[in-house]
A and B are shown apart, each in its own frame.
Chain A
Amino acid sequence: MRTLLQFSDVSLSYGRHSVLEDLSFSVEEGECVALVGPNGVGKTTLLRLAAGVLACSYGSVSLAGRRLDTLKPAEAARLVALVPQRFNVPFDFTVEQIVEQGRTPYLGLFSSWKRQDRRAVERALDLADVTSLRKRIFNELSGGERQRVKMALGLAQEPRLLLLDEPTQSLDPGRQLELLDLIRILNNEGITILAAMHDLQLIQGTFSSVLLVGPEQDVCKGRPQDVLVPDILERVFDCPSRRYPQLFGEERILLETST
Chain B
Amino acid sequence: MEMEIAEKRTLASAAQAAHQSGISDRALFLSLLLVLLFVLAIVLVLSIGMGATKIGVRELLGSLLSWNHPRVGDSVILFELRLPRVFASVLVGAALSVAGLLFQGLFRNPMADPYVIGSSGGAALGAGIGLFLLPRFSFLGFGSAAAMAFAGSVGSMALVYCLARTGGRVPVVTLLLAGFAVSTMLSYSTYLLVVLDDNFGLRTRVLASWLTGVIAVPKWTQLDVTAAMIACGLISSYPLARRLNTLALGDEYACQVGVRVQRTHLAIILTGSLITAAAVSLGGVISFVGLIVPHMARLVMGPDHVRLLPVTAVAGAIFLVSADTLARTVLAPSEIPVGLLTAFIGGPFFLYLLSRTRREYTL
User: Is B258 interfacial (CB-CB < 8 Å)?
Assistant: yes
User: Is B63 interfacial (CB-CB < 8 Å)?
Assistant: no
| Nearest A residue to B8, CB-CB | A132
User: A87 contacts B18, CB within 8 Å?
Assistant: no
Cα(A96)–Cα(B18), bound, Å: 11
User: B256 contacts A90, CB within 8 Å?
Assistant: no
Q: Which of A53, A89, A98 contacts B255 (CB 8 A)?
A: A53
Within 8 A of A (CB), among B44-72: none
User: Which of A17-25, A71-79, A190-198 touches B?
Assistant: A71-79
Task: Indicate the size class of the contact surface on chain B.
Answer: 20 to 34
Give the residues in chain A near B253, CB-CB below 8 Å.
84, 87, 101
Scan B224-250; emit 1 where CB is below 8 A from any A CB, else 0.
Answer: 000000000000000100110110111
User: B109 contacts A90, CB within 8 Å?
Assistant: yes
| Nearest A residue to B360, CB-CB | A90
User: A76 contacts B258, CB within 8 Å?
Assistant: yes
User: B245 contacts A101, CB within 8 Å?
Assistant: yes
What is the distance, in angstroms, from B262's C-beta to the closest C-beta of chain A?
A: 12
User: Is B298 interfacial (CB-CB < 8 Å)?
Assistant: yes
Binding site for A on B (CB under 8 A): 11, 14-15, 18-19, 21-22, 108-110, 239, 242-243, 245-246, 248-250, 252-260, 298, 302-304
Q: Which of A75, A89, A97, A104 contacts B304 (CB 8 A)?
A: A97
What is the distance, in angstroms, from B112's C-beta to the closest C-beta of chain A?
A: 11
User: Is A144 interfacial (CB-CB < 8 Å)?
Assistant: no
Query: When A90-B109, A109-B239, A109-B243 are in contact, do A77 and B256 touch as well, CB less than 8 Å?
Result: yes
Cα(A132)–Cα(B12), bound, Å: 7
Binding site for B on A (CB under 8 A): 51-53, 72-77, 81-82, 84, 87-94, 96-98, 101-102, 104-105, 107, 109-110, 131-132, 134-135, 153, 157
The 8 closest A-B pairs by CB, nearest first: A74-B258, A91-B303, A77-B258, A109-B239, A73-B258, A104-B257, A105-B258, A90-B108
How many residue-residue contacts, CB under 8 A, span A and B?
A: 85
Give the residues in chain B near A110, CB-CB below 8 Å.
239
Cα(A135)–Cα(B15), bound, Å: 9
Give the residues in chain B near A98, CB-CB below 8 Å.
249
A-B contact pairs, 26 of them (CB 8 A): A53-B255, A53-B256, A73-B258, A73-B260, A74-B257, A74-B258, A77-B256, A77-B257, A84-B252, A84-B256, A87-B253, A90-B108, A91-B248, A92-B298, A92-B302, A96-B22, A97-B303, A97-B304, A101-B245, A101-B257, A104-B257, A104-B258, A109-B239, A132-B18, A134-B18, A134-B22
Q: Which of A75, A109, A153 contacts B242 (CB 8 A)?
A: A109
User: B249 contacts A132, CB within 8 Å?
Assistant: no
Give the residues in chain A near B248, CB-CB below 8 Å.
89-91, 93
User: A73 contacts B255, CB within 8 Å?
Assistant: yes
Query: When A87-B253, A131-B15 are in contact, do A72 and B258 touch as well, CB less than 8 Å?
Result: yes
Cα(A53)–Cα(B251), bound, Å: 10
Cα(A110)–Cα(B240), bound, Å: 10
